[in-house]
Amino acid sequence: MFFTGCIITFFTDFARLNYHFTGRGECLPWIERFFPFASRAGGLYNASDMVKRIIHKRARRRHLSHIGLFGLVILGSCVLCRADKIVLKEGQTLTGEIILEKETQLYVDIGVTVLTIPKDKILRYEYAEATETKDADVSDANTPAAGAGSPQSPASGPDRMYKTADLKKTTIEKCVDAVSEAVVKISSPGGSGSGFFLNEDGYLITNYHVIERETKIEVTVFQKAKTGFERKTFKNIKIEAINPFVDLALLKVEDLGDTKAKSVYLGDIGGIKAGEDVFAIGNPLGLERTVTNGVISATNRAFSGLIYIQTNADINPGNSGGPLFNLAGEVIGVTNMGYIFSGGLGFAIPVNYVKHFIENRDAFIYDKDNPNSGYRYLQPDRRRNKGKPDFLKST
């Protein structure tokens, strides 16, 4: 009996494999041929019936397991469709549930385990239920690596056209390399100034006094090329909103075409301190892409009922409307005035005023037909020939 059991086990395993690969129990006739003595009348189980029962029982189990596996795949696919997404700086993409977010790392449940991912390894990440994409450093929008940090609240859209992030501080060289393309030159018949792009749609910020009473405005963009910087001038500029009391203006370049505008992150004045290193980029006296650096001399200098950031970074005519950056590459102010004959006295509008102006831009909408908007009438050229006109000579 022991020997018979071993033989039946052998053929059972063989039949199981044969059933697995062919779907049929083709070896059953062989078992009946070798064990014709096995019958229910003799008190023994029929070998063929026993093997069939074993095979079909295991087939049912396997069928149920396949159904369960298929259900898990479908469920997993549904979960993955709504999963949080993490993109690493090396190019890998992870999907899972972000169960905890700390200052320096993320905890991600990928189903079989929980991963701890340092934020300095993350390029960006986004939540499934939120449409906001969170960027990890200032260089993400401007290609060169300028440092890494932990995203705070990047946002873009019809209500908030700017982006913010809690970025890690780095060197001035890396910051300038990352953000310089976002700074533009603004020209008009009355003079020139600076500005900076808020997003890729062509919206930019400058000072009101740079475009005051002007309607013919040009914006010059400086884009990196193999041999340096390439200048592109755009003339279809729309004035979206103005606030003369805070000296801010929101413009839009409407003829960008295929040109991709580089943009900046807006910071928060709540985190700045006196003595902190800052730098400005602008076009003082027409000298394009000039970088000046210094420190914050005071965070709350009052003029005419408004608060300004005081800095010893050189601010000259032409810098007006340009950005004042911290060492994380975030805009913390808009430069708007300085004392030419007293070096080291420059002032910038705090970035929180800029955010308030953008978020309430409907209240400051520009209307060219409103007489309060003003208009600059240009004087015609003087007569070069001061003699009597021909039609008067005959009289």
Active-site positions read 209, 247, 320
At which residue do the structure tokens 């240009």 appear?
Answer: 378
Other C-beta atoms closer than 10 Å to the C-beta of 30 total 13
Beta bridge partners of 183: 196
Pair of tokens at residue 379: 């004087």
Distance CA 96, CA 26 (A): 46
- Residue 346's nearest CA partner among 330, 356, 334 is 334
Phi, psi of 71 (to 5 degrees): -65, -40
Please state whether 65 falls in left (phi above 0), alpha (psi between -120 and 50) or beta.
Answer: alpha
Distance CA 35, CA 46 (A): 9
Please answer whether residues 106 and 125 qualify as being in contact, where contact means their C-beta atoms are separated by less than 8 angstroms.
yes
Q: Output the CA angle 252-255-256, nearest 5 degrees.
A: 85
Q: Which string of b and e fits 160-190 if b means at least 16 CB within 10 Å?
A: bbbbbbbbbebeeebbbbbbbbbbbbbbbeb
Beta bridge partners of 37: none
* Cα dihedral sign, 307-312-316-321: negative
Q: CB within 8 A of 159, min separation 6: which ones?
A: 359
What does 5-19 look like in DSSP terms, one character per residue?
HHHHHHHHHHHHHHH
Pair of tokens at residue 80: 């993955």
Beta bridge partners of 350: 333
Three-class SS state of 215: coil
Distance CA 8, CA 47 (A): 7
